[in-house]
Amino acid sequence: SVSYEKNLNLNEKYDLYIMPSSIVCHETEIEIIQTLIKNHKNVIVVGPFATTYPEPYLKAGAKVIKGEPEMFFHKFDKDVEYIKKLPNIIDNLPLIDLDKLSIPDWKIIFKNYIPKMKFIGKGPVININASRGCPYSCFYYCVYPLQQGRKLRLKSPKKVVEEMVYFYDKLKVRNYIFRDPVFSLDRKHTKLLCDEIIKSKKKFNIAVETHLKNIDDELADIFLKSGIKLIYVGIESADESVRESAKRWSDNNDAQLKKINYLEKIGIKIKAMYIIGFP
């Protein structure tokens, strides 16, 4: 067995350890939780995997937040005794208006780790959201609606750009990855956001994830002007019958390829994502 005690700062008097969950590393996560619990630490696990499969985390001694953890920790001012008395599964959390969520304190994260993404530019990169939730039929296999729900919730374009400018001025961050399930799901909101980014006159480098059926030449040109350098698109499978069986409603292959060719022609890189092993 691997000993994690040296790397967990167990001598520090932290009130709570918050652990993101994953499929690929959940065995390691369980071992770490067991080490923390053995040393009388409080652990809460978050994320889509623990939301779906909380049992091993609960058995290891942790508590699990189902859904979006920000909805629980927003303006959190509780003490250790409150944490200890929480139910093992914390769910049915009220949804907070995205505009009212606090700006993440990336300055603290940057002290220990500076995330980067060379595909969009040099220097640090920050994750950001303009929306949450997704009503698309591919919730059949996608984890986004599992954690965020199927109702689309929008953050005001002005608020999003204020956050980007804040980190640009405070931490010199020019690179942003939008973690919206589908960046251009609401076309009107997307255009307003791009307009706000352009009006800021900041030279941002941006990556987004979206659906090709929501992009046309007009929107592609707006994307380019606003600083979008990279777009993730889910192709899932080149076999249209396979996509249909997985409830993935997409443009046909020729239409998808035409849009990708145009995006690459104007200077936007495409990262195409596939799921290997669909029936």
Inform me whether the pLDDT recorded for 260 exceeds 60: yes
CA-CA-CA-CA torsion for 129, 47, 71, 35, nearest 10 degrees? Answer: -130
**If pLDDT is split at 50, 70 and 90, which confidence band does 2 have?**
low
CA-CA-CA-CA torsion for 192, 197, 198, 203, nearest 10 degrees? Answer: -160
The predicted model scores a pTM of: 0.88
Percentage of the chain beyond pLDDT 70 is 99
* Mean pLDDT in residue range 244-252: 85
Contact 198, 225 (CB under 8 A): yes
Q: Which residues contact 213 (CB under 8 A, 6 or more apart)?
A: 249, 250, 251
Q: Does residue 19 sit in helix, strand or coil?
A: strand
- Per-residue pLDDT of 197-213, as tens digits, reads 999 999 999 999 999 99
- Per-residue pLDDT of 43-99, as tens digits, reads 999 999 999 999 999 999 999 999 999 999 998 999 999 999 999 999 999 999 999
